Structure 1
């Protein structure tokens, strides 16, 4: 778990930062790196102060409580004993502090993903204010709704099942499957990014000037770090080194490879040639789509999910982007939104044992595994997706408006043309 936590940190800083940084113009490189690094750092601090408690303690179906405010009770200095954290196996525990650290990286990278949607025009201070509000009222509640439950050891007999289920988050109660964050991380962040692109408005010169990536080399390096780090993201979500972690590891490997191939094939059919940007984007699309499915589908299901995600996200950053008309600078919604939705819904298809999936635990008292009907599980998955979209959309709009009314979301046109590296940070990424 410690290694998995480190891998997710590497995904964000430097992985995501370099991936995004290479995609913007050189005059905005440092601004993206700053927004990612400072946002990640701020969210980790907020997570330890109150975020973990809101997400992963008992409260109601939407919000956790304050039992772990300032990480209260997670460590007893008098005895040197750490509170135990549940896994998915009866009688198997990890230190709760380690689980909190692992989940802190998820909260951090989710907020950082949003940065790509309004890159090259947002005020640094406004970005940070937005992140505080959005993290508090969108990320933490959705993490609670999707992932909070009382743990397997709470299910001691049939007569306590209903009471224990009622203490879980709403989407968990529905029975939705989200192994590592298709809804909580990707759809949540993508919707926030899309709303931001609409509220902040288009970049100066959008549609008239060429906004070409200044370094696809850095983008490829960033994508590679994301791919490697994602094994910690997905396999680590099993919480223990067992068969579920192995399945998540291999599914992450194969789905990503399949998505790279699909995106390149799609590009070749559309434009006559495949691109490095396309291969890197395909990798991220596959990683996004397999996130909710990682430990919930079989290998063939993972390959199919990867192929579908590659083609779907290629359409997302081309056809869908034109239909929406938003200047989503680095295609956050086209990749993370479309990929997250595809992955979440197809998890409901390929989880069944009839299609090579592992099935799901139908009774936590006996830990017996069953397979839901495909239609029934897809409907449950769809409900989780729709609630995530609506919740994130509403919170995001309010958060952007608060930031706009108090600080102002955009830099001036003069500052935007000069580049945010100089105008916002007084530095340049490269010597001229």
Structure 2
């Protein structure tokens, strides 16, 4: 990289790091007032332990030389980033830092599925293990030359999955993990019987706005250069997001008679999620289609938890898994070769690309589900994962952190 591209990646990495405090605001506002600090601390805790995990061994597993047929990178190749540091290569160092910010936000996303009921210490242990054992290998599969890349054993240079900035690695991966943890911890007391309303909608909207801002680093930064691909990613990110807001609000207006601020903020996130894998794989018209349908699909999907009985507290499944799946599969339907690797089915590219996207999504779902379940069960049967019913009812903030967000009026 020249100095200008390194400067863009430095900026992008900083933008992506900002996304995790933004997520803390977004999730915190959606939580109840008695658990807002715990919810926000789960994001900050993820920043801490995942950052350490990445420096320790995560980066090596993600981008190191492929081992075991492309299942993971060499975990000893960059212990404590020693190899990156000794190289004196600024490009390698900031690329490593950029990768760390992705790992951090991915783990933090999962926390929204288990709001109000998880021990903070258990969450920290889970975050550390999941970053190393789940996120880093999946990152290697897609971006490090592993099994889901054109260099792996499944695909070839003509037909291989496209995931520009993290549809499989980030959103499907986190969405599945969130669903598994929600099932493992069980429902909150009163789930389905009493409303769990957001306690601070301005927090939610500010958090969504900051997520949108940071997402330009997430998507456009994934070009690793200040070039044409970065420009395309920026424009498509905007197009999909504005369309998703309208899609979500339209469903609300038809279904409920009101277009809500929570719906607008959630539409922002749904659109951002859906365009992430397809940021350079579609044209702006395709981005609008992906965005508006992401808003529709996710706004409908968030209600499924009541039908099927899983307590996905802050709709990680409905937004990240559903819109992540849609954006990933959509590449196989409307992808274009202008900046992407191949044309989608509807543009004459055949079924090869669509099949590659489906396989990548399926493999990610299967591995994330099994690995998350193993990690979650290990924690549950050792240190315990869920707080007591008394703590949950009284409020998790005071029990877990010794403080509350709001002092009661005297």
Give the alignment's TM-score, normalised by structure 1: 0.87
Residue in 2 aligned with 1:62? 71
Residue in 1 aligned with 2:359? 383
Separation in 1 of the partners of 2:109 and 2:142? 19
1:205 is displaced (CA, Å) by 1.3
1:69 is displaced (CA, Å) by 1.5
Residue in 2 aligned with 1:342? 326
Alignment partner of 1:96 is 2:92: yes
1:73 is displaced (CA, Å) by 1.9
Separation in 1 of the partners of 2:397 and 2:156? 43
Check conservation: 1:262, 1:308, Cα contact below 8 A. Answer: yes
Give the secondary structure class of the aligned counterpart of 1:209: coil
Alignment partner of 1:358 is 2:339: yes
Separation in 1 of the partners of 2:153 and 2:389? 44
1:430 is displaced (CA, Å) by 1.0
Alignment of 1:87-236 (within 5 A): 95-149=91-145, 166=151, 168=152, 175-236=160-221
1:170 is displaced (CA, Å) by 6.0
1:324 is displaced (CA, Å) by 2.9
Alignment partner of 1:41 is 2:48: yes
1:169 is displaced (CA, Å) by 8.1
Residue in 2 aligned with 1:157? none
1:418 to 394, 403, 406: 394
Residue in 1 aligned with 2:3? none
Residues 171, 103 of structure 1: alpha-carbon distance in 2 compared, 3 angstrom cutoff: farther
Separation in 2 of the partners of 1:421 and 1:212? 17
Separation in 2 of the partners of 1:171 and 1:41? 36
Residues 256, 171 of structure 1: alpha-carbon distance in 2 compared, 3 angstrom cutoff: farther
Structure 1: which 5+ residue stretches go unaligned?
Answer: 84-93, 151-163, 363-370
When the two chains are superposed, the root-mean-square deviation of aligned CA atoms in Å is 1.9
1:3 to 1, 7, 11: 11
Residues 239, 385 of structure 1: alpha-carbon distance in 2 compared, 3 angstrom cutoff: same
Alignment partner of 1:23 is 2:30: yes
Residue in 2 aligned with 1:255? 240
What is the count of residue pairs matched by the alignment? 391
Structure 2: which 5+ residue stretches go unaligned?
Answer: 1-8
- The CA deviation string for residues 141-183 of structure 1, in whole angstroms up to 9 with x for no partner, is 1000011139xxxxxxxxxxxxx964x5867876100000000
2:82 to 30, 53, 72: 72
Alignment of 1:276-287 (within 5 A): 276-287=261-272
- The CA deviation string for residues 305-341 of structure 1, in whole angstroms up to 9 with x for no partner, is 00110100011102x3234320000000000000000
1:16 is displaced (CA, Å) by 0.1
Check conservation: 1:18, 1:222, Cα contact below 8 A. Answer: yes
1:25 is displaced (CA, Å) by 0.4
Residue in 2 aligned with 1:294? 279
Give the alignment's TM-score, normalised by structure 2: 0.92
1:359 is displaced (CA, Å) by 3.6
Residue in 2 aligned with 1:266? 251
1:429 is displaced (CA, Å) by 0.5
Residue in 2 aligned with 1:82? 88
Separation in 2 of the partners of 1:111 and 1:67? 23
Check conservation: 1:149, 1:172, Cα contact below 8 A. Answer: no
Check conservation: 1:22, 1:218, Cα contact below 8 A. Answer: yes
Check conservation: 2:54, 2:132, Cα contact below 8 A. Answer: no
- Show structure 1 runs of 4+ deviating over 4 A: 168-174
Separation in 2 of the partners of 1:75 and 1:208? 55
Separation in 2 of the partners of 1:307 and 1:289? 10
